Structure 1
Amino acid sequence: MNNILTGAAMGAALTAAGVYAPDIILSQFTFTDYTMFQTFLTAAAGSTVLVTASQTLNLTNLPPRGPSTLGLGLSLSSSSSSLPSWWTRHEGNILGGALVGAGMALSGACPGTLLAQLGVGVKSGWHTMAGAVLAGVVWSWIGRRRRRRVRSQSVVVVKEGMRDKSKAGERKEENKESGEALTVYEALGFSRGVFVVLFEAVLVLALIAATQYTNASAARARGIPPYLAGLAIAAAQLVSIVLRGSLLGASTAFEELGGWVWGVREYSNVLFSVGLVGGAWLLSLTVPALRPVTDVAVSPLRSVLGGFMIVFGSRMAGGCTSGHGISGLSLMSISSFLTAAATFGMGGLTGLLIG
């Protein structure tokens, strides 16, 4: 029930914010409107305050998100030293994040907003969902093969992301054994408190700059202003902390759904997704003004392809725009900063190329 309630809070927040709408997402990646970016910045700032407070008060003991390593660094070269260590450790974050960004620019959705689109009634969301589920099936199959190989060779491999709560202890041990900094403040030699203050200052300055390029009237026509929308998403993070003791993330649900095809029955993240769809549906039903002003015509081919990319890329990176972009940044995870940068960078490039 806690997963459903948390999902409902997230779905309601995304719906009230209006950032689920494909045109809001697409216009961000063509740099014609910064509503999505402004909302994201506020959500990250609010979530960082909440997560830092919960960690400091020992209400939670969440490890930073570890790197996602695909092993490509070794296969591309006979000498591992020929490639930078940050690349060989984080290639999954960078490549996966780039895939997510390109998929968002194609479909006008990310794993979380896609679920809100289904609840609100965005037509293209169903095509995007088809591609997303297919990606979940494929990634789950890949994960099964990798796990079998690991078991047969008795080799410890950094895998494609772990369940936030049930695997937290294992991730912590892996992170400890790596001997490398997993947070930005550790890598830079700052204390957590000092870095959080600096990070919040940067987010506020970026938020002010983005305001100049945000179509405020269009944002309000869909829901609440972007800065309040971001705080609503941060409030959903608080609900997740209180009810589940873990942070928000949407892409794992698609891997769980894909696992059903192969006989692996896991439900916790699927229940979160059901709640997210339900929360979006209920709020849009209660407040009809929150439904799409215009249903942007995203072709079925773009939607399916984009849907596959956002989920496959998210699982490759070990998290999506909520798992890495909001929750991971709140934990100051290096992997999340790299994933978010790759997502917005490739999303912008793709938007300009196809826009």
Structure 2
Amino acid sequence: MMSSESSSLQTASGDAAASKGKVSFFQANKSLIQISVLSGCGVACTLAFEKARVFDPSVIQDQMDFSRFVMLKMFLTAVTTGLVSMSALSIIPATKQKFMIARDAFVGPLKCKGILSSAIGGALLGMGMTISGTCPGMVFVQIGGGVSNAVYTLAGGFAGVLVYGLVEPFIRSAIRPAQPAKHHWMDHYLGMNFASVALPLAVVIGSVVAAVEYYVPWSTEVVTSNTGNFLTVPSWSPIVSGMMIGLAQVPLVLTVDDTLGSTTAYRTILAQLIPNSLSKKLLSYFHGIQNNMDSWWQVIYLGSIMITAYVSASLSHNYNSVQGVSIPSSLIGGFLLLFGSRLASGCTSGHGLSGLALLKVLSFVNVPAIFAGAMGLQFIRNLL
């Protein structure tokens, strides 16, 4: 007959083995889970972009001289929803650590950046938006949706990242802050907890969206239809689309420990095309890019965006129906988009949607610079 001590040891051993089995199962399926979540977020965000009509270059350009407000409503709603979502993650005990890890991941590439690089990079990105009528992540929506000349914007973007990689060592030494930032986060700067800053800010931004929508209803700015289901109608409210994008931050934080962004994907793809010997000597910016989920998750996310854009545009009979900008504008705009984004280490998704939602101090410099560059150039274009 087995002693009670022996029985207890076997029970404990069995529990440990079971526990180990659970961990091994999770680790074995971690990549599959991440890919599934990334694809799902890509689907949700693409539907939001395509149905809000912000993949149309004219909608983005019209925002810059306030002819239309669709982009502003979607963007600010996404930021508002992101602030609320991040507040929830920062408060709930089970997700608080994930929130902190995602914050650390966000600030990593920005440690060598300062106000100057954020402002100049943002202004260049904004000018690229006005010229090309898109932003780094939206390019993939445009390609999937059949927007003419979008592939040239993508080519210009890759050229921008490549040139930035060539000059990055010189830029880094020229504009690197003399001292590291004392406070990376707005809540730390104010000496308050995250939710105490994020939630009042969400109320203010949400009120701005409500006021703009009241005076300029979205249905007066884009083509709408009362027939068809939610997938086949030509457009949705930008407020609904913005909420979808803001909520997409949550599964990303919980599975890949990161937030929405797109420009790192350009660097990752180029790194695979540059011989290791060349990148080590001349293009150190692309050297040592790891072939793991930390480097590739944005590529998977953007790939799902392109596929979903094609399906969504086809279902609503919008595929290949949107006129893009000229080839020279696509190339020049794409170049500025990605050169500026890499200089600032973030784009309209990275700094705009994620950085503001995380209360990153430099994002509050970068985003106004983006719109200042975009609106300033559009004002000049309208005068010519």
Query: Structures share a fold, TM > 0.5?
Result: yes
Q: How many residues align?
A: 311
Query: Which fold has the larger relative contact order, with Cα–Cα distance below 8 Å and residues 6 or more apart in sequence?
Result: 1
Question: Aligned letter for 1:279?
Answer: T
Asked if structure 2 preserves the Cα contact closer than 8 Å seen for 1:70 and 1:91, the reply is: no
Q: Distance in 2 between matches of 1:271 and 1:141?
A: 26
Please name the residue that 2:4 is paired with.
none
Give the alignment partner of residue 288 of structure 1, picking from 313, 316, 323. 316
Show CA shifts across 1:79-105 (max 9, x none). xxxxxxxxxx32111111111111001
Please name the residue that 1:139 is paired with.
164
Flag structure 1 segments of 5+ consecutive residues without an equivalent.
Answer: 72-88, 151-156, 160-176
Please name the residue that 1:186 is paired with.
188
Q: Report the CA distance between 1:229 and its aligned residue.
A: 1.3
Mapping for residues 214-293 of structure 1, pairs under 5 Å:
215-219=218-222, 221=224, 222-263=234-275, 266=291, 267-285=296-314, 287-291=315-319
Question: Aligned letter for 2:165?
Answer: S
Q: From the superposition, tell whether residues 259 and 182 of structure 1 become closer, same or farther in structure 2 (CA, over 3 Å).
A: same
Give the alignment partner of residue 121 of structure 1, picking from 146, 151, 161. 146
Mapping for residues 193-208 of structure 1, pairs under 5 Å:
193-208=195-210
Higher Rg of the two aligned structures: 2
Question: Aligned letter for 2:253?
Answer: I
Q: From the superposition, tell whether residues 192 and 36 of structure 1 become closer, same or farther in structure 2 (CA, over 3 Å).
A: same
Q: Distance in 2 between matches of 1:240 and 1:70?
A: 25
Greater shift, 240-249 or 40-49, is seen at 240-249
Please name the residue that 2:360 is paired with.
333
Asked if structure 2 preserves the Cα contact closer than 8 Å seen for 1:38 and 1:207, the reply is: yes
Q: What SS class does the counterpart of residue 133 from structure 1 fall into?
A: helix
Q: Report the CA distance between 1:215 and its aligned residue.
A: 4.6
Show CA shifts across 1:320-350 (max 9, x none). 1011101111110011111111111111111
Q: What SS class does the counterpart of residue 299 from structure 2 fall into?
A: helix
Q: Report the CA distance between 1:258 and its aligned residue.
A: 2.2
Show CA shifts across 1:210-244 (max 9, x none). 22245533335341011111112123323423442
Flag structure 2 segments of 5+ consecutive residues without an equivalent.
Answer: 1-34, 225-233, 276-286
Q: Distance in 1 between matches of 2:195 and 2:49?
A: 29
Asked if structure 2 preserves the Cα contact closer than 8 Å seen for 1:134 and 1:258, the reply is: no
Question: Aligned letter for 1:216?
Answer: S
Q: Distance in 2 between matches of 1:237 and 1:191?
A: 20
Q: Distance in 2 between matches of 1:206 and 1:140?
A: 39
Using the size of structure 2 for normalisation, the TM-score is 0.73
Aligned residues: CA RMSD? 2.7
Show CA shifts across 1:112-150 (max 9, x none). 11110011110131121110111122233445x579x99
Please name the residue that 1:349 is paired with.
376
Asked if structure 1 preserves the Cα contact closer than 8 Å seen for 2:111 and 2:180, the reply is: no
Q: Report the CA distance between 1:68 and its aligned residue.
A: 4.3
Using the size of structure 1 for normalisation, the TM-score is 0.79
Q: From the superposition, tell whether residues 261 and 350 of structure 1 become closer, same or farther in structure 2 (CA, over 3 Å).
A: same
Mapping for residues 72-91 of structure 1, pairs under 5 Å:
89-91=114-116
The structure 1 segments of at least 4 consecutive aligned residues displaced by more than 6 Å after TM superposition are none
Question: Aligned letter for 1:257?
Answer: I
Q: Distance in 2 between matches of 1:256 and 1:141?
A: 15
